[in-house]
Amino acid sequence: MSETNNVEQMIKVMSRNGWRITDQRRLLAEIFAKTDGYLSPKYVYDQMTVHYPSVSFDTVYRNLRLLSEMGALEQFYFMDGGLKFRMNCSNHHHHHLICMNCEKTLTFDYCPMETTLKLPGNFKIINHRFEVYGVCEECQESS
Amino acid sequence: MSETNNVEQMIKVMSRNGWRITDQRRLLAEIFAKTDGYLSPKYVYDQMTVHYPSVSFDTVYRNLRLLSEMGALEQFYFMDGGLKFRMNCSNHHHHHLICMNCEKTLTFDYCPMETTLKLPGNFKIINHRFEVYGVCEECQESS
DNA sequence: CTATCTGCAAAAAGTTTGCACTTTT
DNA sequence: AAAAGTGCAAACTTTTTGCAGATAG
C-alpha cells in the first residue's frame, strides 16, 4: 500500500544521505506519509508525542529542517508567515490549491510561467510562486 | 512631484481614519514614498533613526501593523518567511516581479486566475498568490 | 566502538502587550 | 483638556545553539 511505500521512500532518502534511522525519524516519516497537507512543526510534534511521549520539540524541529534541506520534505511559508512542511513531490513541476481551513492541498499542473508572459524590466527570472487558496468541499459542508 | 504626492496621500489616509499625524508617522510615510520595494521592519527602523534618533522600534512596528490594517501599506511574507511592507497599490489587481537581491519590485497586469484555469476538487476559491522572483538589471550588472 | 542523534536548557530573533508620560487635536 | 500616540520594559512565540548522555551502524 502507498502509505507504507512513502514511509520507506523517505527512510531510503535518509539512509542514502548517510543518516541514521532512529525511531523518531521513522515516526516522522509515518506522520508525513499519512497526510497530504502542509503540517506545522507544532502539529508534527503533537502527533509525535502521541506515540512517543518523550520526544523533544528540538528534535522534531531539527529533523524537519534537515529533511527539507535534503529534499525529502518541502518547506513553505504560508500567507500568514507560518512555517509548514509537506512531503516533497518534486518529481514534476506543479502548483498547489490549498484549503485555508484544514490546509489540505491538491496539486495541479497548470503553470503561468509556461504561457508567453510579458514581464516588465529586464529581470533574469529565477523563481516563481503561484498558489490558489480556498475552502475544500468538506470544509464548506461543515460550516 | 510624485514622491510628495505619495506622502500626502498616505497622510490623508491616516487622517481620514481618525489618526493623529505625528512626526514619526509623517517620516514613515516619507520613507515608503521614496522606495518602490518591500521594506523590512528593521530597515524602516534604521531609516527612521537617521532623521529621528529617539524613535523606538515598537512604535515603528506598531505603525507598520496599523498602516497595513487600514490598507495604506501592504504586508507580505517573503519566500524565506521574512515580513515586509510596501506602499499599497490596491487600485487595480496585479502581481509583482521582485528582485531577489535589492527587493525592488515591478508590477505587471497578467493574472493567471483570469485564464480558464481548470483546478482539481470543488474548492471555493478565495484568494491566490503569484509572484515572479529574479534579479533586476542593475543587480545583474553589479555582480 | 565511534560518530551521530537526542533531550534538556538556555540563547537569539521576531513580535506583542502594559503602562506612565508626551503630544496632537 | 481629552484622547491618542510614544517610548520603555518586559513577556511571549518561534527558531537556533551547546553540550552531556544515549544509540544506530
Contacts of A122 in chain B (CB under 8 A): 136-137, 140
Q: Do B48 and B99 share a domain, yes or no?
A: no
Residue of A nearest to B84 (CA): A81
| pLDDT tens digits for range B111-140 | 999 988 899 999 999 989 999 999 999 999
Number of domains making up chain B: 2
User: What are A51-70's pLDDT values in tens digits?
Assistant: 999 999 999 999 999 999 98
Q: State the Cα–Cα distance between residues A133 and A127, nearest whole angstrom.
A: 20
In tens, the pLDDT along B22-32 reads 999 999 999 99
- What is the grid cell recorded at B36? 518602490
- Nearest nucleotide to A82, CA against C1' atoms: D14
Which residues from A are below 8 Å from B122, CB to CB?
136-137, 140
Judgement on whether residues B57 and B99 belong to the same structural domain of the protein: no
Percent of chain A's residues with pLDDT above 90: 72
Instruction: Please calculate the CA angle A38-A43-A44 and round it to the nearest 5 degrees.
Output: 80
| pLDDT per position as a tens digit, B71-112 | 899 999 988 899 999 998 767 899 999 998 888 889 999 999
Range of the domain at B134: 95-142
Same domain for B63 and B8: yes
Q: Which of B40, B108, B115, B123 to mutate to test the interface with A (most CBs of A within 10 A)?
A: B123
Residue B111 marked ligand-binding: no
> If you average pLDDT over every residue of chain A, what do you get?
91
Extract the C-alpha cell encoding A117: 508572459
User: Quick one: A75 and A135 in the same domain?
Assistant: no
A26 and A43 together in one domain = yes
For residue A67, give Cα distances in angstroms to A36, A127, B130. 17, 22, 26
Specify the pLDDT at position B80.
84
Global confidence as pTM: 0.86
Of B59, B87, B115, the one marking the end of a domain is: B87
Q: The CATH number of the domain where B112 resides is what?
A: 3.30.1490.190
Length of chain B equals 143
Round and report the angstrom distance from CA (A13) to C1' (C14): 33
pLDDT over 90 at A140, yes or no: yes
> What is the total residue count of chain A?
143
**Chain B residue closest in CA terms to A136:** B123
- Residue A76 pairs with which residues in a beta bridge? A84
| Residue A119, C-alpha cell as written in the block | 514581464
Q: Do B83 and B113 have their domain in common?
A: no
Note whether B83 and B114 are same-domain residues.
no
**How many contacts (CB atoms, under 8 Å) link A and B?**
123
**Which domain CATH number covers A60?**
1.10.10.10
